Amino acid sequence: VHLRFLPDMEESVTRRFALLNELRLAQELGQLVLLYQPIIELRTRAVVGAEALVYWDHPRHGRITPATFIPVAEEHGLIESLGEWVLDEAVRQSATWRARGLQPLRLAVNVSCAQFRDASRLRGAVDRVLRRHGYPAHELELEITERQIMRDPQSSVDTMLALSDLGVAMALDDFGTGYSSLSHLREFPLRKLKIDRSFTDQIDRDPGGLAIVRAVVELGRNLGMQVVAEGVEREAQVAPLLACDCAQVQGFLFGAPMSAADFERRLLRPALA
Ligand code: C2E
Ligand code: MG
Ligand code: MG
Burial status of residue 111 (CB atoms within 10 A of its CB: 0-12, 13-18, 19 or more): buried
Q: What is the pLDDT of residue 178?
A: 79
Assess whether pLDDT exceeds 90 at residue 16. no
**Which atom of ligand 1 lies at the shortest distance from residue 173's CA?**
3
CA atoms of 116 and 99, how far apart (whole Å):
30
CA atoms of 104 and 87, how far apart (whole Å):
18
**% of the chain exceeding 90 in pLDDT:** 78
Pick the ligand that lies closest to the CA of residue 78. 1
Q: 138: number of CA atoms within 13 Å, CB side?
A: 1
Q: What is the pLDDT of residue 150?
A: 86
The H-assigned helical ranges of 100-202 are 113-117, 119-133, 146-149, 153-166, 182-187, 197-200
**Of the residues 42, 53, 248, which should be mutated to test ligand 1's pocket, given the most ligand atoms within 8 Å of the CB?**
53
**Structure confidence by residue, pLDDT tens digits, 194-225:** 999 999 999 999 888 899 999 999 999 999 99
CB 70 within 8 A of CB 13: no
CA atoms of 191 and 49, how far apart (whole Å):
14
User: Which residue has a Cα nearest atom 14 of ligand 1?
Assistant: 251
**Structure confidence by residue, pLDDT tens digits, 142-172:** 999 998 888 888 889 999 999 999 999 999 9
CB 130 within 8 A of CB 107: no
Q: Where are the beta strands (DSSP E) in 59-88?
A: 62-64
**Structure confidence by residue, pLDDT tens digits, 58-91:** 999 899 999 999 999 999 999 999 999 999 999 9
- The more confidently predicted of residues 16 and 52 is 52
Determine the 3-state secondary structure of 114 from DSSP. helix
Please give all residues whose CB falls under 5 A of ion ligand 3, grouped by chain where several chains appear.
173-174, 230
CB 32 within 8 A of CB 54: yes
**Which atom of ligand 1 lies at the shortest distance from residue 112's CA?**
44
Q: Which helix (H) or strand (E) holds 16?
A: helix 2-26
The pocket around ligand 1, CB under 6 angstroms, is made up of 37, 53-54, 65-67, 70, 83, 86, 110-112, 143, 145, 173-174, 197, 231-233, 250-252, 257
CB 91 within 8 A of CB 41: no
Backbone angles phi, psi at 228, to 5 degrees: -120, 135
